[in-house]
Structure 1
Amino acid sequence: MEKICWANTDNFDDSKFVVVGIPDESQSHALRQGTQEAPFTIRKISNERDSYERDGKKILGRPNDGAQKKVYDMGNITRGEIDDVYDKISSSSKIPISIGGDHSITRQIINAMSNRLGKFSLVYFDAHPDFVSSTTNYYGSVVNDVLLNIKTESSVQIGIRTPELEELANIKKHNLQIVTPFDISEIGIKEIASSILDKLGENVYVSFDMDCIDPAYAPGVSVPVPMGLSSVDAAYILKKIAKRGIVGMDVMEVCPSFDVKDRTSHLASRLISEVIYSAGEK
């Protein structure tokens, strides 16, 4: 199977970052189906558009300042393998970068990793709060389903613009900070990013639903919502958080069958690269 172009080692033990594909959308209720194809498509497009060959050498389509950060692509796993795989990654002090699949996968990843690392500060990029509590264990209840393993007082949701009344009540009940696209327009990206960094605790996990970005930049998602983040603003915040330090990240809800010229898959690949190259920089 094709590996993501950012992978630069075939040795798990040598790596700092571990790319894991989870091609599963069994807990999605979306009218648009096809997120299970995302791990394959994002890897394919990353090789077609983010790298090329010159004189028999692979050249990455951005400055290769991350060459010393070893990235291992372990391929795809099933939902049933999540607990064992992420326990192995966490116990090895490596940073997983997961590609879904529907957003409910995040619940299983966080709950598996927290067994070894404890509670996380969660940065949750999404158009939707995913904070339904009347129904659980699906892509709309992720935040509710990980409450025992996150610190809501040091967590934040970014890009929210279509909450249900039930979700608004849960956000208020748990005092969860929300950053909307309108907040970024009014306050400014630099100040917003700074306030987010000030909020976060020690162990930070980033979950990135591609529908947080405006459909103009990311049309190929399962539940698109107008008036979202720009791709540059999203990348700016991601880079700042990665530079501060993360324990893991996922990219969810890319829906290749509804994409336009693979724009969303390409953007997902580039966001992954920005996180890898920014992580831990001083």
Structure 2
Amino acid sequence: MSLPHTIPGVWPASIPSSRFASLIRRELPDLAPPGAVALLGLPDDLGVRLNNGRPGAALAPAALRDALARYAVASPGGWSWPPTFDAGDITPAAGNDAASLDATHQRITAATRMLLERGYFPIAIGGGHDLTLPFARAAILHHRAHGRDVKGCVYFDAHLDVRPTHGSGMSFRRLIEDCAISRLYIHGFSDLANSAEHLTWFRQHGGITRDDPAGVAEGRWKPDCPYIASFDLDVIDAAHIPGVSAINPAGWSVRDAARWVSRLARDPGCVCFDLMELSPPNDPTGRSARVAAHLLLTFLQGFSQRGGT
């Protein structure tokens, strides 16, 4: 299957057969096997730069592939990995302005919709958090076209990302305004990182803020309808993951983040998932990419318990 606007992902030349990454298939069948997952790289950080943030997230897909090649066994005990395919990387549109960002967004939506039409569960790796907008939009449009009304959103982020201007902080405002998403839960929200204006707007449009890292507090954590899911890595403490676009000095532990990712993965109400804002140049040690790989693997492990898309 030829996916529009993509190029093949780059992997290390040699991956031991004992590693999970050796199982990831590079060619996409026209029809996905049951329970198949497709990884789509979103190597673009124009939105971050338009927000005057720290660039580097464009290198996230390559860094994650490199980390995956060195982490996780191919044959875990008691369960099996879901069929996993590498759908390649989106080729961003040329330019450095809002129109260029919109053009890249259109490419992401087109490629993701094709994956969904062929039966794959899509997982995106990025990239500026604005890229959640076109990725999730594809899932929303696909499922609505097939009679499943996706109106919910669960995301993990220190920031609301409801800015009215183009940039990495635009995604959830546009999902509300353009895609009729009306039931949103944000986990890891920081009072210190969001304006009163944005918080008021968010709550007026169906948003609920939560900060329950361990996932033990009473109350709902997700909407009562199908939902898109997004994980901004800046919800994790900078001590664990300094390689993100905006570091968080008071974030979650990796263990807490992994528990939430596993919960999402096991829930059939979750129709897509992304890991965003990994910024490898801001962490020369490479441990941030390894944390991102751990969360991706955790999602795949949980997803294997669903038995399908």
| TM-score, with length taken from structure 2 | 0.78
1:152 alignment counterpart: 182
| Contact 1:18/1:73, CA 8 A, preserved across alignment | yes
TM-aligned CA deviation for residue 77 of structure 1: 1.2
Distance in 2 separating the partners of 1:141 and 1:70: 33
TM-aligned CA deviation for residue 260 of structure 1: 4.9
TM-aligned CA deviation for residue 280 of structure 1: 5.9
1:8 alignment counterpart: 24
Letter in 1 for 2:170: S
Distance 1:92 1:252, change over 3 A: same
- Pick from 130, 133, 145: which aligns with 1:104? 130
- Pick from 36, 46, 55: which aligns with 1:26? 46
| Contact 1:32/1:222, CA 8 A, preserved across alignment | yes
| Contact 1:127/1:160, CA 8 A, preserved across alignment | yes
| Contact 1:5/1:47, CA 8 A, preserved across alignment | yes
SS at structure 2 position matched to 1:229: coil
1:178 alignment counterpart: 209
| Contact 2:54/2:245, CA 8 A, preserved across alignment | yes
1:75 alignment counterpart: 88
1:95 alignment counterpart: 121
| Contact 1:219/1:260, CA 8 A, preserved across alignment | no
Distance in 1 separating the partners of 2:199 and 2:22: 38
SS at structure 1 position matched to 2:64: helix
TM-aligned CA deviation for residue 139 of structure 1: 0.9
Query: How is 1:1-282 mapped onto 2 (pairs within 5 angstroms)?
Result: 1-2=10-11, 5=21, 7-9=23-25, 10-12=27-29, 13-15=31-33, 16-28=36-48, 29-48=51-70, 50-51=71-72, 59-60=73-74, 63=77, 65-67=79-81, 69-78=82-91, 79=104, 80-118=106-144, 119-133=150-164, 135=165, 137-147=166-176, 148-153=178-183, 155-161=184-190, 162-180=193-211, 183-184=212-213, 189-191=215-217, 195-196=220-221, 199-245=222-268, 246-279=270-303, 281=305
Letter in 2 for 1:75: G
Distance 1:171 1:31, change over 3 A: closer
Distance in 2 separating the partners of 1:191 and 1:164: 25
| Residue range with higher mean Cα deviation, 110-119 or 218-227 | 110-119
Distance in 1 separating the partners of 2:62 and 2:143: 29
Letter in 2 for 1:222: S
Per-residue Cα deviation, 1:208-267 (whole angstroms, up to 9, x for no partner) = 110011111111101112111111111111111211122111111111011151111111
Per-residue Cα deviation, 1:97-151 (whole angstroms, up to 9, x for no partner) = 1011111111111222222213342111111110123x2x321121101114254
SS at structure 1 position matched to 2:274: strand
Letter in 1 for 2:189: I
Runs of 4+ in 1 over 6 A off after TM superposition: none
| TM-score, with length taken from structure 1 | 0.85
Distance 1:202 1:280, change over 3 A: farther
Distance 1:208 1:7, change over 3 A: farther
**What's the % identity of the aligned pairs?**
24
Distance in 2 separating the partners of 1:47 and 1:7: 10
| Contact 2:80/2:304, CA 8 A, preserved across alignment | no
Letter in 2 for 1:77: I
Distance in 2 separating the partners of 1:64 and 1:269: 21
Distance in 1 separating the partners of 2:303 and 2:119: 14
Distance in 2 separating the partners of 1:11 and 1:254: 25
Distance 1:281 1:191, change over 3 A: farther
Distance 1:139 1:189, change over 3 A: same
Letter in 2 for 1:152: S
| Contact 2:233/2:277, CA 8 A, preserved across alignment | yes
| Contact 1:132/1:166, CA 8 A, preserved across alignment | no
Give structure 2 stretches of 5+ with no counterpart: 1-9, 13-19, 92-103, 145-149
TM-aligned CA deviation for residue 23 of structure 1: 0.5
| Contact 2:237/2:250, CA 8 A, preserved across alignment | yes
| Contact 1:214/1:227, CA 8 A, preserved across alignment | yes
TM-aligned CA deviation for residue 62 of structure 1: 5.5
CA RMSD of aligned residues (A): 2.3
Letter in 2 for 1:156: Y
Distance 1:96 1:174, change over 3 A: same
